[in-house]
Amino acid sequence: MSALLNKVAVLFGGASAEREISLMSGAAVLKALQTQGVNAHAFDPSTQDMGDLKHQGFTAAHIALHGRFGEDGTVQGALELLGIPYTGSGVMASSIAIDKRMTKRIWESHGLPTPPWRLAKSALETAAAFEFFKTSGHNMIVKPALEGSSLGLTRVMTSEQCATAFTAASKLDGQALCEAWIEGDEVTCAVLEMDGPNVRTVRALPLIRIAAPDGDYDFQNKYYTDDVKYHIPSGLPTPLEEHIQSLVLRAFAAIDCRGWARADVMIDAKTKKPYLLEINTSPGMTSHSLVPMAAKAIGLSFEQLCLHILQSARLDHKKEVHA
């Protein structure tokens, strides 16, 4: 076991709206690492001082936090100051990926497809965005600009729903992202750094096609029901799956992500064109989570996956990979 793994903190819980999910993810990761012989310990940044990581001799951190104050570059920045290598993307990539506006702007600058969108600061602007999308034949999704796990998300099909949708989103963020709804299949694609000959490469794992009741893949269906069906293999034509994997790898690189991530994609039912929705730099690791499903498809158990992610831990200012 490398010196990097002498004493590992599994960071979970936190103070975000996704705390409950993080507690489930972290408990699963902690148990998995311990079964692999890692000297791993639970650490909740919302109840413990981050400086204690240094004082208590931790040599690495496995981040199982979701949302703000964990997936947004804040914890990553603290770990950089402490000099403790951590899993997942660095400070800048983490802060960009959680901000759907900045993510889309960067993807668009790289020529990557993402649904048309507008930012709304009021219910009136939300209604204006809906009317704009209707002219192009789309309904609309309204969601917080800075949040994850479908929290505060509303599908808008009538102008009367705009005010309610904005209110739901603005409870979590002052600005709402209004996005054209793409009718069709929803898929997700995990990305994982893999060891190659003398270099660490990035691999897109097999796609998972998500079939949610009435197409409603909301927070409740994601984590608390068994009504959602996950298809892996996806059942998509091979050229389309490979094209989406290629897009996701480009999306991952455009934001300068590292370690691992998961991107969500919609496929237009009529044109079969894929659209990138967002990228998660600290995906869920619960019993309903998607990255472990994709890893299993390539022969990685949950325990092996957790150890693999941990072994990619590093710092922004020290670019070499710890083995």
> What's the one-letter identity of residue 146?
L
pLDDT at 214: 63
Domain 3-87 has CATH 3.40.50.20: yes
d(Cα 100, Cα 107) in Å, to the nearest integer? 10
Known catalytic residue: 149?
yes
Domains 97-112+182-310 and 117-180 share a fold: no
Is the pLDDT at 1 greater than 80, yes or no? no
Known catalytic residue: 224?
no
Known catalytic residue: 19?
no
Contact 87, 33 (CB under 8 A): no
Residues 137-182 have pLDDT tens digits of 889 999 998 876 578 899 999 999 999 999 999 988 888 999 999 9
pLDDT at 323: 39
d(Cα 200, Cα 117) in Å, to the nearest integer? 35
CB atoms within 10 A of CB 224: 10
Contact 39, 7 (CB under 8 A): yes
- The active-site residue out of 284, 289, 312, 314 is 284
Is the pLDDT at 50 greater than 50, yes or no? yes
Note the CATH architecture for domain 117-180.
2-Layer Sandwich (3.30)
- The active-site residue out of 22, 94, 280, 282 is 280
- The active-site residue out of 19, 278, 282, 312 is 278
Contact 292, 67 (CB under 8 A): no
Q: Where are the domains of the chain?
A: 3-87, 97-112+182-310, 117-180
pLDDT at 2: 74
Q: Which residue has the higher pLDDT, 95 or 212?
A: 95
Cα 134 to Cα 128, 131, 215, 267, distances in angstroms? 10, 5, 19, 19
> What's the one-letter identity of residue 204?
A
Of 277, 207, 201, 215, the C-alpha closest to 243 is: 207
Known catalytic residue: 2?
no
What's the token pair of residue 27?
Answer: 């408990």
Complete DSSP assignment for 30-66 = HHHHHHTT--EEEE-TTTS-THHHHHTT--EEEE---
CB atoms within 10 A of CB 194: 14
Known catalytic residue: 183?
no
- The active-site residue out of 16, 25, 149, 150 is 149
Known catalytic residue: 223?
yes
Enumerate the β-bridge partners of residue 211: 229
Note the CATH architecture for domain 97-112+182-310.
2-Layer Sandwich (3.30)
If you average pLDDT over residues 261-278, what whole number do you get?
Answer: 97
Strands (E), 112-183: 117-120, 140-144, 154-156, 176-180
Residues 126-149 have pLDDT tens digits of 999 999 999 888 899 999 988 765
pLDDT at 28: 97
d(Cα 84, Cα 80) in Å, to the nearest integer? 6
Secondary structure (3-state) at 202: strand
If you average pLDDT over residues 231-247, what whole number do you get?
Answer: 97
Rg from Cα positions in the chain? 19
Known catalytic residue: 289?
no
Residues 109-122 have pLDDT tens digits of 999 999 999 999 99
Known catalytic residue: 226?
no
If you average pLDDT over residues 208-220, what whole number do you get?
Answer: 70
pLDDT at 215: 57
Is the pLDDT at 220 greater than 70, yes or no? no
- Residue in this structure with the two tokens 């990305």, named with its chain if needed: 191
Stated pTM of the model: 0.91
Q: Please state which of the ranges 102-111, 134-143, 302-311, 313-322 shows the lowest mean pLDDT.
A: 313-322
Share of the chain above pLDDT 70, in %: 92
Task: Name the range with the highest mean pLDDT among 53-67, 283-297, 305-319.
Answer: 53-67
Contact 224, 279 (CB under 8 A): no
